[in-house]
Copies of this chain bind each other. A is one copy, B any other.
């Protein structure tokens, strides 16, 4: 899924494990990788795609996760720095699939990868909305 000939550009964000992310096995709790991807994605929406979540919200739109799929390989540990790489896999009328991989900066090894299916919604009605030309132009880089 992460092969080099993917159509869309991929972006990277560096983050660091916080103490409250750690679970009883001294590993990052499985649910936290999920927020790491969201954190990276929010940053990349602003800096890489030039259309931030705030701008979507100002235009009356939001993105909601429809499906999440995560494959865990090796756990991150306390204080570790890591890189979240994300990119579009697929872009359709009302949503998109974002794939990701999280890599430890210390070991260079893959910690987990997977994908999220997002749906664009109209904030007022809460229903799915059609992706505009502006959005398509900015996101299909």
Q: Taking beta carbons and an 8 Å cutoff, which residues of A are in contact with B?
A: 15-16, 18-20, 22-26, 29-32, 34-36, 38-39, 42-43, 46, 53-54, 62, 64-72, 78-79
Contacts and interface: CB of A to CB of B under 8 A. Distances in A.
Would you list the 8 A-B pairs with minimal beta carbon distance, nearest first?
Answer: A31-B34, A20-B35, A18-B39, A31-B31, A22-B24, A19-B38, A68-B70, A30-B65
Contacts of A68: 30, 68-70, 72
A36 B64 CA distance: 19
B42 A20 contact: no
A38 B20 contact: yes
Copies in the complex: 4
Nearest to A17: B39
SS of A interface (majority): mixed
Contacts of A69: 67-70
A16 B79 CA distance: 15
Nearest to A45: B79
Contact of A32 (B26, B31, B79): B31
A35 B64 contact: no
Contacts of A71: 66-67
Contact of A25 (B36, B38, B62, B72): B62
A70 to B, nearest CB: 5
Nearest to A71: B67
A78 B67 CA distance: 22
